[in-house]
Structure 1
Amino acid sequence: MITAVRAELLKLRRSLVGRVATTAVLVGIVALSAAMLVATRAGRTEVVAKLGPDATPDWHGFLAAATQITAAGGLAGFAIVLAWMFGREFTDRAVHGLFALPVGRAQIATAKLLAYASWAVAVAIILPLLLLGTGLILGLGSPDSATLDGLARIGVLALLGTILATPVAWAATLGRSVLAGIGVAIALIVIAQFSVLAGVGGWMPLAAPALWAMSDGRLATFPQTMLVLPFGAIWIALTVWSWRRLQLDR
């Protein structure tokens, strides 16, 4: 199993998708957050209107923007990686070779998920550190305890986003393509937005983490947010089960 996980990590590290997705999540979120801060300092009315009360040229405003961007952009980036990891063998017609390996297909799926989890944890750790460094460079001053809490929430939000993306792995397997996974990723983002507008976001696993992070627990409690764990477990189990039953003629 360890060898299989290393192989999946190596494929992800050397792939264009892995490099682009990692850059998009890390650099993209930090750059957009910095741009929002600069725009707020300049008094750009459209940005101030979008952020509302959080449109402040300080750590609070910077992290508020970063949290919003992470909620949507992070999920999209994680979903793309999962769609590629579970759909590429079908798209590249390499799935036939998996049946000749001494490792079972359920173990291969588990190795993919473990490799994905390792990559995602690294991203979730690096992202708050990059935001901290960027804030210091932009002259926001030394972070206080509230700022450190906000950075920690963004890290947790990124981790929960990796779990929210797990239906994509099952969709890419069932649809036997990367595009099937990406299609489901778009649907996940739409459902999350709709649940917030409908006022049920606190009990919707797709929306609760973002609401918890953005409101410091006022719009979604931590127990509600933890519904993400059984949500992810269901899709992980379905993915491994589907790979165990994988057939060449379908």
Structure 2
Amino acid sequence: MGEQAADGLSMTDAEIAAHDDQRDIGESGWSSLRALYAEEFEGTVLDAGGGTGIYASALDAAGLDVVLADVDERMLAAARGRDMPAHRVVQADVTALPFADASFDGAHVAHVLHVVEDWRRAIGEVARVVRPGGTVLVALGGTNQPGPVLEEISARVDEEVGGTETITRGQASGLNGPEEADHAFALSGMDVVAVRRIEGVQRRALGQLIDRMLVNPYRSTASRAVRAQAAERMSTWALDRFGSLARVIDVPVGIDYRIYRRRT
């Protein structure tokens, strides 16, 4: 998940926190996710592009031996802060993984390939390091499933930071289509065997949601300066529109996993 911020600078602590908050799937969601991991994986699992370790922690809680690889040192520092052993946190580009062929029983790739320009090579690398018969779980998109309130706020945020001129990084560079993913994995010796959806609920104040959208650098290519200016306008608009930034809403969230198996 790691990558530089839109300004070309390393991500700040606030940006990392917003990034992780975006990935939160609530208590019931995490429970379901741990169960999925325990069902589909065994042994040693590579969390490729694992960022701050938010999913690696769930993999570990499912009883798996996890190695996290990511390119961004700030995110890796956050992962180490989750008490992951240093030798299990590796700085590496997902397009050039420093592991031997068939060295993992499985791999987890969540919300990564949409920000990797050379995503075909990344898929080849992930497939290469998984043993025959091993499993790869891939989540292509984001987690939020916006209701009317969140959709209105999201549209307003996009307008304030420049509209369609600041398209998301996923739309700008990486993989978003499941058909393309299936084809690339098939060429790398892996076949899709199932699709599983994990659902949960976030409870967030409107002010928290707005801050998260504006701080998270993966949302758009707008600079930090532009996003900071937009924050002031958004606060004024939201207070006028909703009366309070403290209003709490339920945000349905979900992760669609495509499950691939390495041919034997």
Bucket of the pairwise TM-score, normalised by the shorter protein = under 0.3
Q: State TM-score, norm by structure 2.
A: 0.25
Q: State TM-score, norm by structure 1.
A: 0.26
Bigger share in strand: 2
Bigger share in helix: 1
